[in-house]
């Protein structure tokens, strides 16, 4: 990043990008399934279902023919369980905190954009990234979730970077993130340590691929 250039913004997906949330999600999924007599899902299955928000996750793990009322009951149980256990096993991926601090020190503005419910995004940002991440946007009323670009645009606006869109990077780990970046016209740095494999990501032709968090810093600095 050149000091004479306009300010750079780096917007991150949360689950599978900054934080490994898989085990807490899986524990709440399987607690719900057991509570209502459904067969539990293994970690690999649940990993493949993550990316569209918790409602989409539960739609994928529950039987397709479940009634709307039964789905609502199970979804509410899941939400309550997950809210109570959201930080039990969730941790930043190795190297993430260091990379964020380096970007911040270099003058980048940092944000989170997630399909996770806003309360959960706020709780995780405050617990793990207090004083590092400037803006955190989750799933909220009146904003279309990813892959619509609305939440990404909102984050850019809250960072005060509407005029600097050519200096924005979006960082994510899934096909949802690639579609979001394309809808917004923002280049994607795809990370290979998350919920999708590197080969799955490369098949979608992201602008950049990061094998480790320090690669994000290098890409942003050299662009």
What is the rounded CA–CA span in Å between residue 50 and residue 66? 20
- Annotated active-site residue in 2, 13, 150, 215: 13
Cα–Cα separations (whole angstroms), residue 153 to 11, 141, 182? 10, 15, 12
Quick one: how many helices (H) and strands (E) in the chain? 10, 8
The answer to whether 141 and 166 are in contact (CB under 8 A) is no
What is the rounded CA–CA span in Å between residue 190 and residue 211? 9
Active site residue 215: no
- For helices 68-84 and 54-61, angle between their N-to-C axes, nearest 10 degrees: 120
Catalogue the active-site residues.
Answer: 13
């Amino acid at each position: 990043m050149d000091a004479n250039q306009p300010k750079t913004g780096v917007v991150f997906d949360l689950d599978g990008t900054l934080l490994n949330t898989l085990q807490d999600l899986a524990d709440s999924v399987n607690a719900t399934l057991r509570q209502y007599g459904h067969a539990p899902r293994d970690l690999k299955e649940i990993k493949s279902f993550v990316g569209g928000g918790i409602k989409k996750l539960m739609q994928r793990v529950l039987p397709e023919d479940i009634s709307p009322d039964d789905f609502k009951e199970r979804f509410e149980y899941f939400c309550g369980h997950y809210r109570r256990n959201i930080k039990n096993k969730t941790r930043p991926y190795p190297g993430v905190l260091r990379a964020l601090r380096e970007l911040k020190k270099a003058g980048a503005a940092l944000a989170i954009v997630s399909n996770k419910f806003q309360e959960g995004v706020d709780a995780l940002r405050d617990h793990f990234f207090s004083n590092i991440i400037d803006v955190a946007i989750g799933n909220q009323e009146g904003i279309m979730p990813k892959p619509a670009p609305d939440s990404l645009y909102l984050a850019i606006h809250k960072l005060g970077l509407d005029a600097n869109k050519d200096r924005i990077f979006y960082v994510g780990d899934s096909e949802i993130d690639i579609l979001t970046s394309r809808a917004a016209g923002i280049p994607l740095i795809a990370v290979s340590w998350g919920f999708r494999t590197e080969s799955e990501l490369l098949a979608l032709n992201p602008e950049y691929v990061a094998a480790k968090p320090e690669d994000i810093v290098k890409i942003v600095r050299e662009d």
